Structure 1
């Protein structure tokens, strides 16, 4: 679809091609079927401008400074049952296809989370994958409540989150510890309501149910009759939910690092714990083989890791910047590094430092995971993560269930056993002021075209079998990647990238049993 320009000049654009001067207004919709009462949203004009002001964290700044990208805000209803009521705005980025003559349409991308801002992901992937970027506009969006979207979910200040990270009370299963933890979690829910514009109404309409409706508005406003979508990690749940909600609007979907739509939140947490334990074991085998590893052998590594990290709960390490490396921060840093083998060298360094009473590398990894900027401020991701999960899934409200789940998790991931009994303290979702809007189920997606699910055998965060289950649930094709990392498509593996690109361009799915290696 070639978009109609309402007002435009000329300047340098993608790969030196002539393109419109920013800002400019563009009207391309409505495209496809428009739900009743939503005509003005599906047919809205978009004003594209430079992206530098859309950066919501330090990590966003460089990719959003690329002159080849354009940004806008999409207006959508706050509550789709009341389209004439309050509206909110969704931040959107586009990197136009570098070969307009062979352009297929838009490729809408979500990096997961839930709650991760998506603009910089689309900008970076578009700049690094020439073949696909020649045929598609790479489009990223910040889901409602996230990043450059307006309003954002606001719960904790930067100082409050620093204090929360330094406080390891959540692993204290004594009566006083449980009381303190639950009070903190009640206070957190209250702050989310008080500090977020539209309060409870925003929190009630934040989840995946509403994000996929925003995506369909965006599809139409961009001028695409059908949606072409790439979802990573939790973005696979967004993809399967979109396919169930708008099956007639699906053109193609690549879902990488799958969330099993039928698995309960409890089983999902335990499966993730098992995945991180397996990734930790793989890291240890690599580390011992490399030499100069803080662990003597794989057989003793779990105990040795516990001996390194458990003392931090009572005696955190004070770092040069004055912050303490807590038990929570140390294990968060380790989890961050287990997402990708590219970070294993940093993890080895961090654990070696810890054995010497130092903690700067692990703190840096934890800051990366939690998206803490150099100025001490945080992105919206952590607050949005909690808020979205609280409305996307049923809550655990019985302390006995919480304790049982905690024990299951520690059994699945013994390297993360902190040495205390599992706490029965309920999390913030148990005190959330609005009901959940989703629950695990087998999606009804009859009539959608074949989708491509990519699953990695050693994925620590979204275990391989979840990809097998998702492909089966959607009647799609499964591509297996044999490695230890979280997600892989468009990250430089020719086998995976060629298969996914061929699918997105012409709909060709890989043959049954196709496997790729590093």
Structure 2
């Protein structure tokens, strides 16, 4: 800063000049607008809670080299911090260069219900070395989930399986019988979580997790939060930024949920939460773009193109399966499952979660078309069997002998956050016309996403969190929020990133022409931009668009390059839909 000598006679003039010099020196230009402040109510809730001691211990045997684990007790209700508590589990990977440590980077993998402990343990495999050098990486399992105290809406797994069978085994209902069973199961789910599941089921809103994260920020000694959240983790980051805008150092949200759509408003409460997100439209858009690129590439690059026009082949497959489902058998010829068009849609959604998902779509549709042409009932179909078994692993565990332990609470973990956060129609029957409307806009994928929130019907899911956050999502944060959106994301629509960025006045949108769910790790462009922001607080230039390294049908079939492994693993993102297959 150039020294300026000011000869003044009055203290008021001197002080004003000095104030101007300090401001210009700090910003290099005119002063930035001040950030919004944490409300007095919110500050009182979290700041009176003493920073707990996780009592870190070595857990490398279970989670990998250098990992440290711990647990803390946090208030079940921040309005009554001296009363009931819930246990929250944490995992830390210490910075590899502690002498240059910038602070702690908190991670969340999505879900809701994904394990922060597990994504932190995986950090050495997907985070850049520069981040691992400069940050302690910490993940915590949101209250009610995974290694934290578990929400449990049923007395045992047998009771859970009996109540939730249709929800765990049917991607979405088709026909009166399936629809009736799905509605009954949704109601049973809501009633169970509003009775047996309380009080934890009513204390799992994203706002409560954001409050937990702010207490944990103090626990690790950081003045402001550094955070990288994927998928549903984008909503957690967004809620934190709006509850605690002056406590943001660097928040990245990747794979972004439209926050207003997730929470809902009185005007949109009659639309199911998972329909408002437009994820069905996003998945449909991605699939049909894959089919269009298959057509353009031809049979040398896309096997489906050898069977005819890919769009026509796909339409014929769906029509055939709607008319008569296909029995899939194992290598011995024994029937394994019946492939309905709903099950195929769920397989395709799982395919699209991966950057290389176009090749899985090609493989699956080519295989199904071939089976249909051959009659289908005696052909071996190992890839489809594997997908089916993976998709229904939870249901298979639940059915095993009706045992009450170990208890898999992943269905409750997902719904307790979803239903506590958002407004929904009163009765589960309202999902029938809603799914029909969604099917008209995004055939197959629309109903798949829409029905996911049917347990949230407000007349049966009656437990509430009076301190859940419903907005606004327009707070000005102390530092910019980096919003990352992927054009072809099949779960969190690119429009969600645009919406979130347009609401946050101090944010920067980074767009990516890439495939799969979320964008970090899909190109050096995205990864370097995120790393630079986290390390140096520097956002990419306005309007930056990255291009994913993997693009559909650019490598001939059978090429070794098509099968090459990426330099680093992708983050283990948990998709915001029960039963969908996460990318690996």
Please name the residue that 1:157 is paired with.
Answer: 157
1:278 to 285, 307, 325: 285
Equivalent pair of 2:116/2:140 in contact (CA under 8 Å): yes
Equivalent positions of 1:14-33 (< 5 A) are none
Please name the residue that 2:14 is paired with.
Answer: none
**Residue 389 (str. 1) matches residue 388 (str. 2):** no
* Higher RCO, 1 vs 2 (CA within 8 Å, ≥6 residues apart): 2
| Cα separation, partners in 2 of 1:389 and 1:399, compared to 1, 3 Å | closer
Please name the residue that 1:171 is paired with.
Answer: 173
Equivalent pair of 2:183/2:429 in contact (CA under 8 Å): no
Please name the residue that 2:308 is paired with.
Answer: 296
Where structure 1 has 5 or more consecutive residues not aligned to the other structure, the ranges are: 1-32, 54-63
Please name the residue that 1:365 is paired with.
Answer: 387
Q: Hey, what's the Cα distance between the residues in 2 that align with 1:299 and 1:331?
A: 15
| Cα separation, partners in 2 of 1:172 and 1:287, compared to 1, 3 Å | same
| Cα separation, partners in 2 of 1:232 and 1:460, compared to 1, 3 Å | same
Equivalent pair of 1:393/1:436 in contact (CA under 8 Å): no
| Cα separation, partners in 2 of 1:168 and 1:81, compared to 1, 3 Å | same
| Cα separation, partners in 2 of 1:469 and 1:333, compared to 1, 3 Å | same
Equivalent pair of 1:306/1:417 in contact (CA under 8 Å): no
After TM superposition, the score normalised by the length of structure 2 is 0.71
Please name the residue that 2:358 is paired with.
Answer: 344
Q: Hey, what's the Cα distance between the residues in 2 that align with 1:166 and 1:82?
A: 36
Question: Larger deviation: 389-398 or 182-191?
Answer: 182-191
Please name the residue that 2:182 is paired with.
Answer: 181
What is the number of residues matched between the two proteins? Answer: 467
Please name the residue that 1:5 is paired with.
Answer: none
**Residue 134 (str. 1) matches residue 133 (str. 2):** yes
Q: Hey, what's the Cα distance between the residues in 2 that align with 1:436 and 1:323?
A: 43
Q: Hey, what's the Cα distance between the residues in 1 that align with 2:419 and 2:135?
A: 34
How far 1:177 moved relative to its partner? 4.9
1:485 to 513, 516, 520: 516
How far 1:378 moved relative to its partner? 8.5
Equivalent positions of 1:463-478 (< 5 A) are 463-475=493-505, 476-478=507-509
SS in 1 for 2:137: strand
Q: Hey, what's the Cα distance between the residues in 2 that align with 1:152 and 1:363?
A: 32
Q: Hey, what's the Cα distance between the residues in 1 that align with 2:58 and 2:493?
A: 38
After TM superposition, the score normalised by the length of structure 1 is 0.80
Please name the residue that 1:87 is paired with.
Answer: 85
Please name the residue that 1:269 is paired with.
Answer: 275
Please name the residue that 1:455 is paired with.
Answer: 485
Equivalent positions of 1:312-461 (< 5 A) are 317=328, 319=330, 323-325=336-338, 327=340, 328-355=342-369, 356=371, 357=376, 360-365=382-387, 368=390, 372=394, 380-398=409-427, 401-416=430-445, 427-430=455-458, 431-435=460-464, 438=468, 441-461=471-491
SS in 2 for 1:119: helix
Where structure 2 has 5 or more consecutive residues not aligned to the other structure, the ranges are: 1-40, 265-270, 399-405, 549-584
How far 1:504 moved relative to its partner? 0.7
**Residue 500 (str. 1) matches residue 561 (str. 2):** no
How far 1:292 moved relative to its partner? 2.6
Q: Could you give the per-residue CA deviations for residues 395-453 of structure 1, whole angstroms, max 9, x where no partner exists?
A: 2125675333212211222254899xx99x95453411313654754414134311111
Please name the residue that 1:11 is paired with.
Answer: none
Equivalent pair of 1:212/1:238 in contact (CA under 8 Å): yes
Aligned CA RMSD, in angstroms, stands at: 3.5
Equivalent pair of 1:351/1:362 in contact (CA under 8 Å): no
Q: Hey, what's the Cα distance between the residues in 1 that align with 2:439 and 2:221?
A: 49
Q: Could you give the per-residue CA deviations for residues 147-178 of structure 1, whole angstroms, max 9, x where no partner exists?
A: 1111344558388289436754952453x554
| Cα separation, partners in 2 of 1:384 and 1:34, compared to 1, 3 Å | closer
Q: Could you give the per-residue CA deviations for residues 110-157 of structure 1, whole angstroms, max 9, x where no partner exists?
A: 111111112222222333321111111111111111111113445583
Q: Hey, what's the Cα distance between the residues in 2 that align with 1:510 and 1:465?
A: 19
**Residue 511 (str. 1) matches residue 541 (str. 2):** yes
Q: Hey, what's the Cα distance between the residues in 2 that align with 1:50 and 1:319?
A: 44
**Residue 207 (str. 1) matches residue 215 (str. 2):** no
